[in-house]
Amino acid sequence: MQEDISIHEAAKYPWSVMARSLLKEYNVLLAEVDNNPRITKRAKLRLIDALETKVPRNTMGLNDDPYVELTSFFVAKALVDAIASMYLRRRWATAEAKSTEEFLIKETDSKLAQIAIREFNWQMKTVKSQIAGRSFTHSIHFTNYLTATEGLRDLKWKLVNKRLSTGFVLLRKTETTRVIRAAVEQLLVRDIKKVDAEFPPNIQQVYDEIDAKVRKRVDRHRQEIEGEIIPEAFPPCMQAILSDLKEGKPLSHIARFAITAFLLNVGMEVDSIIELFMKAPDFREDLARYQIEHIAGKRGTTVYTPPSCAYMLSVRLCVDPDQVGVRRHPLNYYRYRRKRVSKP
């Protein structure tokens, strides 16, 4: 049976399954929304905030219209899908997830568990437990915990540093909200819909503005890493994957993705990358070409970037864990080293 959800609740958590179903009830069409300047303005603000500050201005609770909040999220999402830039998508996902956390922290313990169970199908319970002066409010099954925290780089999130009770990880309230925030961010990064970049006029105007901003930023980043490829400036994680590749060692799927996206982003041609993969034990040129062209955005609309350092760490591909918080992204490492290596 479907649970009722108020428009206020949906506006606070617009990414939720319930919010999406509510919006269907409202039967919102982009063409109708286009004539409401409050919605298009708020959608634009959500994306500008994501680009500039990574935390969207949270106007809920200040007599704002929850309908505007809810629909503006979906307009912003449609724009993110259409612009098809992983740079924008990641920043938007981070910003919206942070905004979610601001609401979560004000919820009761039982409400938090209810949201987690309803939206992510987690095994989560409320607990009242005091251990060594710390109050725990929730417990989550360790498998759900591991999936949700795969991108959290701080050592405190490692399972070995957590209190476990019969397969459940004990969490304090602030930790529960942080774990839900991480899950929301993953959800928004992965929920990619194919959207035609044809919008009604006012939304199209926002699309053009945001698209131009994103392209300018991505081009600026690209200029810093493109040009002559300098392998000495590659980060140690990519050097390690490349060395395995050249020795014909089998690579995991994520290692293949990471090195391919990295090399494409530093300007290597598809054919040169295929040559590198020729030594792989299961090499098939047609498959390799298809996959590389897909990552390059030649077979879809999304141009992929390699995973962040935090993600690389979580999948054991980072070879310098102490630097994760400093570098944050393998392309940052390359950008930084490239400038220094190429100085005469």
Q: Is 319 in the site for ligand SF4 (CB under 6 A)?
A: yes
Distance CA 220, CA 225 (A): 9
From 67-75, 157-165, 230-238, 266-274, give the range in contact with ligand SF4 by CB under 6 A. 230-238
Please, which residue, 154 or 208, has the CB nearer to ligand SF4? 154
Does 19 contact ligand SF4 by CB under 6 A?
Answer: no
- Supply angle C-alpha 8, 14, 18, rounded to 5: 80
Q: Which stretch binds ligand SF4 (CB under 6 A): 30-38, 162-170, 190-198, 232-240?
A: 232-240
- Distance, in Å, from the CA atom of 51 to the CA atom of 72, rounded to the nearest integer, reads 16
Count the Cβ atoms, other than its own, within 10 Å of residue 243: 10
User: Cβ distance 320 to 239 under 8 Å?
Assistant: no
Q: From the CB of 85, what's the least distance to ligand SF4, in Å?
A: 21
Calpha distance 336→332 (Å, rounded): 6
* Binder among 237, 263, 264, 273 for ligand SF4 (CB under 6 A): 237
Q: Which of 122, 235, 251, 292 binds ligand SF4 (CB under 6 A)?
A: 235
Q: How far is the CB of 158 from ligand SF4 (least distance, A)?
A: 16
Smallest distance from ligand SF4 to CB 295, Å: 18
Distances (CA, A) of 344 to 227, 235, 334, 337, 339: 16, 21, 17, 13, 10
Instruction: For residue 255, state whether it binds ligand SF4 (rule: CB under 6 A).
Output: no
> What is the token pair recorded at 114?
């209810």
Give dist(CA 162, CA 309) in Å, integer: 22
Interaction of residue 309 with ligand SF4, rule CB under 6 A: yes
Binding status of residue 320 toward ligand SF4 by CB under 6 A: yes
Residue 330: CB minimum distance to ligand SF4, A: 4
Q: Which stretch binds ligand SF4 (CB under 6 A): 88-96, 140-148, 231-239, 269-277?
A: 231-239
Of positions 42, 69, 177, 330, contacts ligand SF4 by CB under 6 A: 330
CB of 340 to ligand SF4, least distance (A): 15
The partner residues of 129 in beta bridges, in order of sequence, read 136
Which of 236, 294, 297, 337 forms a contact with ligand SF4 (CB under 6 A)? 236
How many chain residues interact with ligand SF4 (CB under 6 A)? 13
Size of the chain, expressed as the number of residues it contains = 344
241 contributes a contact to ligand SF4 by CB under 6 A: no
Dihedral (Cα; 191, 298, 295, 331), 10-degree rounding: -100
Closer CB to ligand SF4, 136 or 333, in the complex:
333
Give 256-286 as a DSSP string: HHHHHHHHHHTT--HHHHHHHHTTSTT--HH
Q: How far is the CB of 49 from ligand SF4 (least distance, A)?
A: 27
234 interacts with ligand SF4 by CB under 6 A: no
Full 3-state SS string of 290-308: HHHHHHCCCCCCCECCCCC
Is 14 an interacting residue with respect to ligand SF4 (CB under 6 A)? no
- 37, 27, 26: which is closest to 203 by C-alpha? 37
SS3 193: coil
Does 306 participate in binding ligand SF4 (rule CB under 6 A)? no
Of residues 142 and 257, the one with the C-beta less far from ligand SF4: 257
Minimum CB separation from ligand SF4 for residue 335, in Å?
11
Q: Which residue is associated with the tokens 């609770």?
A: 61
Q: Are 266 and 226 in contact (CB under 8 A)?
A: yes
Member of 323, 335, 336, 337 binding ligand SF4 (CB under 6 A): 323
* Residue carrying structure tokens 């090195």: 259
Q: Tell how far CA 129 is from the center of its chain.
A: 33
* Residue 211 is a binding residue for ligand SF4 (CB under 6 A): no
Contacts with ligand SF4 by CB under 6 A lie at: 235-237, 309, 312, 318-320, 323-324, 327, 330, 333
